[in-house]
């Protein structure tokens, strides 16, 4: 067992086996890394900024000096700013859309109205007002797909066109081998 530090040759304190302190340990680590780099024979490359040929210290080194790296960094930043300046500004509030406007829910503009059968005076008045608005050339934006309606017998009915219903049935039959998923 050693009693002297490998780096500075001081006497080792208790609970230490190779180095007297963390500083000596770090110095040794740096020396070993330098030796490894010295053994690594890299071919000379040309600097990305100035084109000067140099021997890199690591395989990832692209620039001969820090000044060349800074020059390239400033050039790329200016290029990025110029690109951003050409694009239209978007308000932060416009970056995120509410979920009902997402394409999965099928936002679309309609010029004809579909009404649920209901004979209350309020509904008939609303129906006539909507039809009149559409006749005058107005449009309505419809958000989301039809919400399922529940019968009195608590049976779930999806108000889908028959062609879409058949498509869904066929696809689920292929995937899971399930028949009559929509309960019809």
pLDDT beyond 50 at 104? no
Alpha-carbon gap, residue 180 to 171, rounded angstroms: 11
Alpha-carbon gap, residue 153 to 175, rounded angstroms: 30
Q: Which tokens hold the place of 6?
A: 């490998």
Which ranges of the chain would DSSP assign to H, the alpha helix?
22-39, 66-86, 92-95, 121-135, 162-176
Look at the block and give the residue holding tokens 């406007």. Answer: 101
pLDDT beyond 50 at 109? yes
**pTM value?**
0.35
Q: Which tokens hold the place of 10?
A: 């001081």
Phi then psi for residue 63, to 5 deg, are -120, 145
pLDDT beyond 50 at 159? yes
pLDDT beyond 80 at 37? no
Phi then psi for residue 4, to 5 deg, are -125, 150
pLDDT level of residue 81 (50, 70, 90 thresholds): very high
pLDDT one-digit tens code per residue, 125-156: 888 888 888 888 888 877 665 555 544 445 55
Question: Domain limits of the chain?
Answer: 1-40, 41-82, 101-176
Give the pLDDT of residue 102. Answer: 47
Instruction: Give the closest residue to 135 by CA, choosing from 112, 116, 114.
Output: 112
């Amino acid at each position: 067992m050693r009693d002297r530090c490998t780096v500075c040759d001081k006497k080792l304190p208790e609970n230490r086996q190779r180095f007297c302190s963390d500083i000596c340990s770090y110095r040794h680590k740096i020396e070993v890394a330098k030796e490894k780099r010295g053994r690594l024979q890299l071919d000379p490359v040309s600097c990305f900024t100035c084109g000067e040929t140099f021997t890199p210290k690591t395989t990832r080194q692209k620039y001969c000096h820090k000044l060349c790296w800074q020059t390239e960094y400033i050039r790329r930043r200016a290029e990025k700013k110029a690109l951003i300046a050409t694009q239209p500004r978007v308000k932060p509030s416009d970056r995120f859309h509410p979920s009902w406007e997402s394409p999965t829910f099928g936002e679309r503009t309609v010029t004809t109205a579909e009404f649920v059968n209901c004979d209350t005076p309020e509904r008939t008045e609303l129906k006539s007002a909507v039809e009149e608005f559409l006749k005058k050339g107005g449009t309505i934006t419809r958000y989301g797909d039809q919400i399922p309606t529940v019968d009195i017998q608590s049976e779930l009915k999806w108000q889908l066109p028959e062609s879409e219903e058949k498509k869904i049935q066929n696809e689920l039959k292929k995937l899971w081998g399930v028949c009559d998923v929509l309960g019809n």
